[in-house]
Amino acid sequence: MHGEDFLRIKGGGYMIQVDLPAAFAVGQFFAFLSRNYLKKTPEKFTNKLLGPFNLYMSCGFVPAGLYLLVGWPSWEAMYTTDWVEKTFNQPLVAGFYVLFMIAIIFLGNLGFILAHHWYTKGKDKLVVFGTVVGAALAVLPFLLRWGVWWKIGTYAQIQANQGYPFWENPFFGGWLFIMGYMIAATVLAGLWLRKNAR
């Protein structure tokens, strides 16, 4: 596994990862919830909301993607490749897992800080636009690869038309738990930010 082959998949495409645009959208949306505070503070990297936002990103948002990537790697990649399943003795694949988490936190921060910048420049509409575009890019792969994520299995199993339905355990119970955790963390963090954005 070298160079471009690391990310290239069968058929010439690249791995689909919805968590990345979703992280940017979350950053933009949380800035929207905090806009009253962000509009009047010039400190983009030292303001009082950035620390709590990062606590949410690292402890509330990232665990969902990590849990699904570790437990069902090819499902998380929408069955576009099998290299993501092969972590043992593969430094590049192991490194991808780490970079994936870093990228989620970075893009969440980019979304939040960029929105803060736009608010201080009076460009409020760009924040709404950024939120919508990020959310749309997160949903688009589900539409483009419609139905593939309803099956659970390894890459080889899905290519052989095997696997089991989305609604069966252990996947569904795990998915329900981690998504419930992320949604609860998102709601609580959003409410906290909105309350303290004064």
Examine residue 170 and say whether the peptide bond preceding it is cis (omega within 30 degrees of 0).
yes
| Spatial CA neighbour of 72 closest among 160, 141, 174 | 174
| pLDDT tens per residue across span 87-140 | 999 999 999 999 999 999 999 999 999 999 999 999 999 999 999 999 999 999
pLDDT at 28 over 80: yes
Q: pLDDT tens digit string along 72-92? A: 999 988 888 899 999 999 999
Q: Which two tokens stand for residue 123?
A: 């460009």
Distance CA 107, CA 21 (A): 8
Q: Are 152 and 72 in contact (CB under 8 A)?
A: yes
C-alpha gyration radius of the chain: 18
For residues 143 and 183, the model is more confident at: 183
3-state helix, strand, coil in the chain (%, to 5): 70, 5, 30
Could you give the CA distance from residue 149 to residue 107 in angstroms, rounded to a whole number?
Answer: 24
Structure tokens at 99: 């970079």
